[in-house]
């Protein structure tokens, strides 16, 4: 849905404080306006004027859906949609996080079968029991979602008393080159040979690679430039080797000319295909494991960790800007080529 651009004037001190707190000012404004509209739509003519004079909650506080008159009749889907709008505009949550939040919050609301503001600790305990057996990692994800939903969205502390499980660091799993070659031998389709080798030789994140379009690829330099930034994940530029280049050339004749995506596959489809290939080959491989393998292999080839971080999109923008000559595409290309990274040899 397209947005309507409007100009508003706000107190400069309030604006500065909002930016300092990391608030999405336009999102907060839209949220406040939506709340006013909802209130006016459900208020009779005798009270509508007083509703207009009602102060908006401070910009760093949530406006709970439970306070709106229609809340008692809201469906779980309506609540989740409203929360998703809030989490996107005000909390700046990403799609993956939101999908996880919707899943766990939705299950709780379905099981409790009551308005969110009336949910108590016993309801959350009952829901957690319904998810058993579950790992500490899953419990952390569930409680994290519930805390954001109740604390940030509903201004309700019901989930705060639940302790997050302490999880120790897991050993990093990195397949050997022989195992990668065994996995590669099980791949029949040119598309997935290309995707496999691109992951293994670029170090890009799972979503970054599949979201590339042809314009994001400099084929002369074998360079990939993801067009994706967020508050926590940065990108710069990475490269692919001659093995991936050959696979890409073999795949091009099979590309759909009407699909601008470079590899024409979604993240869920890639994950599903990799799971099937892992079963067939007897070697477990995921895009995340290939990213770790890339970092480990480049380190063993003598590449400095600062440059590996740049390839993997872990270098702060401020560092890239201040030391551009050290991180220029030409410099990175030289370092990448000198390393001589291979997967199939």
d(CA 32, CA 30): 5
Question: 6 or 195, which is more confident?
Answer: 195
pLDDT digits (tens, 9 = 90+) for 81-129: 989 988 888 887 888 888 999 999 999 999 999 989 889 988 999 999 9
Q: What pLDDT score does 25 carry?
A: 64
On the question of pLDDT at 50 being above 70, the answer is no
d(CA 139, CA 132): 9
The two tokens of residue 139 are: 């419990």
d(CA 299, CA 284): 22
Q: What pLDDT score does 72 carry?
A: 61
Q: What pLDDT score does 48 carry?
A: 43
Give me the domains of the chain, ranges plus CATH numbers: 12-153 (no CATH), 177-339 (1.10.443.10)
Tell me which of 49-53, 132-136, 173-177, 191-195 is least confident: 49-53
DSSP state of 288: H
Quote the percentage of the chain above a pLDDT of 70.
78
Residue 223 host element (H or E): strand 223-224
Name the average pLDDT for the chain: 82
Q: In terms of DSSP bridges, do strands 238-239 and 223-224 run parallel, antiparallel, or are they unpaired? A: antiparallel
Q: What pLDDT score does 30 carry?
A: 67
If pLDDT is split at 50, 70 and 90, which confidence band does 293 have?
very high
On the question of pLDDT at 204 being above 70, the answer is yes
Contact 143, 159 (CB under 8 A): yes
Q: What pLDDT score does 170 carry?
A: 59
If pLDDT is split at 50, 70 and 90, which confidence band does 272 have?
very high
pLDDT digits (tens, 9 = 90+) for 304-341: 999 999 999 887 777 777 778 788 999 999 999 999 99
């Amino acid at each position: 849905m397209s947005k309507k651009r409007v100009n508003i004037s706000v107190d400069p001190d309030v604006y500065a404080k909002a930016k300092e707190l990391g608030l999405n000012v336009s999102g907060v404004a839209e949220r406040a306006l939506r709340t006013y509209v909802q209130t006016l739509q459900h208020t009779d003519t005798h009270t509508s004027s007083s509703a207009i004079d009602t102060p908006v909650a401070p910009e760093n506080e949530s406006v709970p859906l439970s306070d709106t008159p229609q809340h008692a009749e809201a469906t779980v889907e309506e609540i989740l949609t409203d929360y998703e709008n809030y989490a996107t505009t005000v909390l700046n949550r990403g799609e993956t996080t939101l999908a996880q939040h919707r899943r766990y919050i939705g299950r709780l609301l379905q099981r409790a079968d009551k308005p969110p503001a009336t949910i108590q600790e016993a309801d959350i305990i009952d829901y957690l029991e319904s998810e058993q057996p579950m790992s500490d990692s899953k419990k952390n994800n569930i409680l994290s979602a519930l805390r954001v939903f109740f604390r940030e969205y509903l201004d309700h502390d019901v989930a705060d008393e639940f302790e997050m499980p302490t999880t120790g660091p897991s050993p990093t799993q990195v397949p050997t080159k022989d195992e990668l070659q065994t996995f590669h031998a099980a791949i029949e389709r040119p598309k997935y040979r290309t995707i496999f080798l691109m992951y293994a030789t670029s170090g890009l994140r799972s979503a970054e690679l599949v979201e590339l379009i042809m314009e994001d690829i400099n084929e002369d330099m074998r360079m990939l430039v993801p067009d994706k930034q967020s508050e926590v994940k940065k990108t710069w530029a990475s490269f692919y080797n001659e093995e991936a280049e050959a696979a890409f050339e073999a795949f091009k004749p099979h590309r759909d000319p009407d699909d601008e995506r470079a590899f024409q596959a979604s993240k869920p489809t890639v994950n599903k295909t990799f799971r099937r290939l892992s079963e067939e080959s007897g070697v477990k491989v995921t895009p995340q494991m290939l990213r770790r393998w890339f970092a480990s292999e480049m380190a063993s080839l003598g590449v400095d960790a600062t440059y590996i971080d740049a390839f993997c999109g872990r270098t702060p923008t401020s560092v890239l800007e201040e030391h551009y000559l050290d991180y220029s595409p030409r410099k990175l290309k030289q370092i990448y080529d000198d390393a001589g990274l291979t997967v199939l040899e």
